[in-house]
Structure 1
Amino acid sequence: MSADDTARRRLPRGTVPAAVGAFLLTLAAMLPLYVYDRVAVLPAQGRFEVTMVADGAGYLDTSRWEWVDGVRIIRNTSVSAQPHGPDWSAWEMSVDTVAEGAMIDHWSRRVIVDRGTGRSVNCCGEHVNGDRAVRQAGLVFSWPAGVGEADHPFYDAEVRAAPLMEFEGTDEVAGLSVRRYTQEVSATQVPESAREVPARLFTPGAQGTVTAGRWLQVVRTYWVEPVTGTVVNTHEARLETLRPQNADGEVHLLYAELGLRENQIAGRAEQARVRSLTLRALESWAPWALGPAGGLLLAAGAVLALRDRSRGGGRAGDDAPAVADAKAADSGETAGNRVPSA
């Protein structure tokens, strides 16, 4: 290969830093505008459980129709999520309430969740306890990432309604700064809960049965890490009663002050902490570092290229007189050595 070919193939000075700088600038723009939106959404697939415990609770033992007090009640929510299109996830949810090892309540739910907003979508076989006529709305469990301080409808599948989760302020849970939201569900009859119960529950000494419905009153509080939308802790005060149809009176069916297990609080807080660092890096830290670095490298590459070009032009100009003198000398020699004609 000739020297001229080598010179032509050599990259101009500054090409590499300029290329790296352009790449970093592109990456700084892509991270918050493209990558963040794909990382911040809820996972399309996975399994998780939320286990809440109440000590000193009470419930109506329906095998004997007698009130049992001072027991531990465990309410476990199991979720199995599967992808449903590019933006949605199908959640199969099962809720079991257990007292002293005995099942006292069970219900299930299917809901389609928008992975970006965390809200339910009316679609594709949704149901609550087999009731496919329901139209679920509002948040299902998690908050959307990066959401501002605002109230949000939150669907209560038992009463088939979505009262607001109202923002109340900020707290600290497991070292994390979190937002506190509270939802109040006033006493509401649970749809399709009517059943035959002993009449003596409402009228001492009465014989036979009466039809009574289950009523639910609940105040639930969620503590949410705002960058990720992760629920770090939750508390629920539940009062369930039986009320006879077409008559006055009520009896307690269940009372419990439920709270998330301590190990789950710690685990969810750590999960939120790690995910928060990732999202913050994508949204602000990395772009703020990569952008200036890319700009400096791009500028440095341009400066090196200009210097290289100017030095090349200078050498060509400096050599021109020498080349001219050499040509003149050659011409003189040729003329001096020329033989005169006869």
Structure 2
Amino acid sequence: MRRVVGAVVLALGTFLVVAAVMLPTYVASNLVKTPLDQYTISVATSDSATVFDVASLTVQQNVPVEATRTVRADPEESTDDVVVFDAFLVVEDARNNKQITFSSDHVGLDRTTAESQPGFDAAVDDEPTEHEGLIYKWPFGAEKKSYQYFDTTTRKPYTAKYVSSEDINGLETYKYEMEIPPTKIGELEVPGELVDSAEPDVTADRYYTNVRTVWVEPKTGIVLKGQEQQKQTLRDAAGTDKLTLFEATLTFDEQTIDEAVGLAEDSISQITLVKTVAPLVVGVLGVVLILLGLFLALRRGGTDESSYRPSKPSTPSDNPAPART
């Protein structure tokens, strides 16, 4: 019986050792993914924006603005490997909540690499748009290297270069920076005087430039902090900036950073559990069971039960009486 129990314990221990090896590799790769129920709101602010007021046809200085981005996953459209995001960005005048700009985005991302995926009805502002590169997050296990990152305003990817490592609320982050050169993003019909034209009305080219900086927690790929130095202008026929439509340095507010840090810490704990703690505990338990199984299977008892026969007690009939003479 002891040998049977030993064999069972030995088999269980071997299974646990194999499981410990697979946990940080195969199992972790299937568990460490962007969740299909992700829902985040980030707020970036500026206290000194320049904004063109359409109603008065004037440029206003030192306007407090707030940019709110909502990113939510669509579990019905998502798959085991791809998460589909709907994102909405609203920029408002913080003094009266008057909307300055609004944009929407629909895109599928690889749940591990964060790379944009073809298909999934990808669109920017409801116009079909194929995305390329990263967007909204970095891959799990981000590296100190350059990545392609998609800009929804120009609808093109740009190189986000690794700059340095910085600490944010106790977490190490990788800082990346991307520069978007002045790029034409459309046209706008305006009174000629706004762009120094003698014509009553002109169609002016609308240009956009941006320096985007993000601080990424590398283990999870979560953006803890973001900053954009945006500028939009109207140019005349000679290509000279004549009117500033919008200019601001927008930076995540403290609440957004704190919430992102909390989300990253929770994710790091889960990753550590799957990749380090669980394999270690399971592996040690497996080794202990293997040793115990070998001990039980190979140990020999002091007396072999098969050779043990109780002695038969003697009775008077077993000792015949001596014969009489």
Which TM-score tier does this pair reach, normalised by the shorter chain?
A: 0.7 to 0.9
Residue correspondence of structure 1 range 303-322 to structure 2 within 5 A: 303-307=295-299, 310-311=300-301, 315=304
d(CA) in 1 for partners of 2:35 and 2:305? 63
Contact 1:41 1:144 in 2 (8 A): no
Provide, for residues 242-264 of structure 1, a one-character-per-residue CA deviation record: whole Å limited to 9, x for no partner: 11346644221111111111011
**1:315 is aligned with what amino acid?**
D
d(CA) in 2 for partners of 1:52 and 1:280? 31
Look up the match of 1:221.
213
Residue correspondence of structure 1 range 85-164 to structure 2 within 5 A: 85-99=79-93, 100=95, 101-132=97-128, 134-164=129-159
Shift of 1:38: 2.6
Look up the match of 2:292.
300
Which of the residues 10, 19, 23 maps onto 1:27?
19
**1:244 is aligned with what amino acid?**
D
Shift of 1:86: 2.2
The runs of 5 or more residues in structure 1 that have no matched partner are 1-6, 327-332, 337-342
Look up the match of 2:177.
182
d(CA) in 1 for partners of 2:221 and 2:241? 42
Matched, 1:258 2:241: no
Give aligned-pair identity as a percent: 26
Contact 1:210 1:244 in 2 (8 A): no
**2:279 is aligned with what amino acid?**
P
Which of the residues 193, 199, 222 maps onto 2:192?
199
Provide, for residues 304-342 of structure 1, a one-character-per-residue CA deviation record: whole Å limited to 9, x for no partner: 2211xx227x5269759x99xx9xxxxxx9xx9xxxxxx
* Secondary structure of 1:240 counterpart: strand
Task: Tell me which protein shows more helix as a share of its residues.
Answer: 1
TM-score by length of 1: 0.83
Tell me: CA distance 1:16–1:54, structure 2 relative to 1, closer, same or farther (3 Å). Answer: same
Shift of 1:65: 1.5
Tell me: CA distance 1:282–1:104, structure 2 relative to 1, closer, same or farther (3 Å). Answer: same
Task: Tell me which protein shows more strand as a share of its residues.
Answer: 2
d(CA) in 1 for partners of 2:234 and 2:31? 46
Which of the residues 149, 164, 172 maps onto 2:167?
172
TM-score by length of 2: 0.87
Structure having the higher Rg: 1
Q: How many residues align?
A: 312
The runs of 5 or more residues in structure 2 that have no matched partner are 313-317, 321-325
* Secondary structure of 1:155 counterpart: strand
Residue correspondence of structure 1 range 237-256 to structure 2 within 5 A: 237-245=229-237, 248-256=240-248
Look up the match of 2:69.
77
**2:87 is aligned with what amino acid?**
M
Provide, for residues 256-297 of structure 1, a one-character-per-residue CA deviation record: whole Å limited to 9, x for no partner: 111111011011101111211210221123213321331122
